[in-house]
A and B are shown apart, each in its own frame.
Chain A
């Protein structure tokens, strides 16, 4: 059974940093693109970042470029999202996902809540 378990969310002050983790199991992790998206309270989904199987290729949305960095550790089947210079508008549920085989669709975990507030 495929599982994606996000962790690392919580309350952080504006200007602070947080690193989210997503532990994967049930599939060959190193063969799949991994993704992060977020959803602010009561709002829609926003695409953030993706990384290829060996970690050599990444891309980020313009809205977070330079502040957020996606990375992965294939030995630990884990993908990360390093978030710096956090702002109140970064408050959201953050979901990680993996791209299925044979197509561009993504399967998502249950999410972790990040709250940026003083």
Chain B
């Protein structure tokens, strides 16, 4: 199972809106609504930010939102804040009854 494709890095200024894309195939993202997004700060465990494409767990800021179109999922962060600077990973269920992560995107807040 090949990793999902994410941009290596994105950046934005405080208050801006940014979007991170995650591209897969019809055997993963395109075939199921089981896409999750995780935030990871250096040396810390991954934190669930979005599940099932567009749902936010309790306690996650509504500045974070998720969507999907075809074989591509997206994570959007509005009102960018310094503490949003982290690595972000997408994850999808696959037709092989496994899951697969994206390669990760480093978000820099300028």
A and B form one complex: yes
Picked from A44, A47, A104, the residue with its CB within 8 Å of the CB of B98 is: A47
Minimal beta-carbon separation of B91 from chain A (angstroms): 7
A interface residue count range (under 10 / 10 to 19 / 20 to 34 / 35 or more) = 20 to 34
Query: For residues 42 through 81 of chain A, which have their beta carbon under 8 Å from a beta carbon of chain B?
Result: 44-47, 50, 59-62
Given contacts A44-B89, A103-B51, contact A108 B101 (CB under 8 A): no
**B101–A47 contact, CB under 8 A?**
yes
Residues of B within 8 A of A61 (CB): 1, 98
A interface secondary structure, majority: strand
Given contacts A44-B103, A105-B52, contact A111 B45 (CB under 8 A): yes
CA gap between A47 and B91 in the complex, in Å: 9
Minimal beta-carbon separation of A65 from chain B (angstroms): 10
Taking A45-B40, A95-B45, A103-B51 as known contacts, 11 extra A-B pairs with beta carbons closer than 8 A to each other, sorted by chain A number, are A44-B102, A44-B103, A45-B89, A47-B99, A50-B99, A59-B96, A60-B98, A61-B98, A100-B48, A105-B50, A106-B48
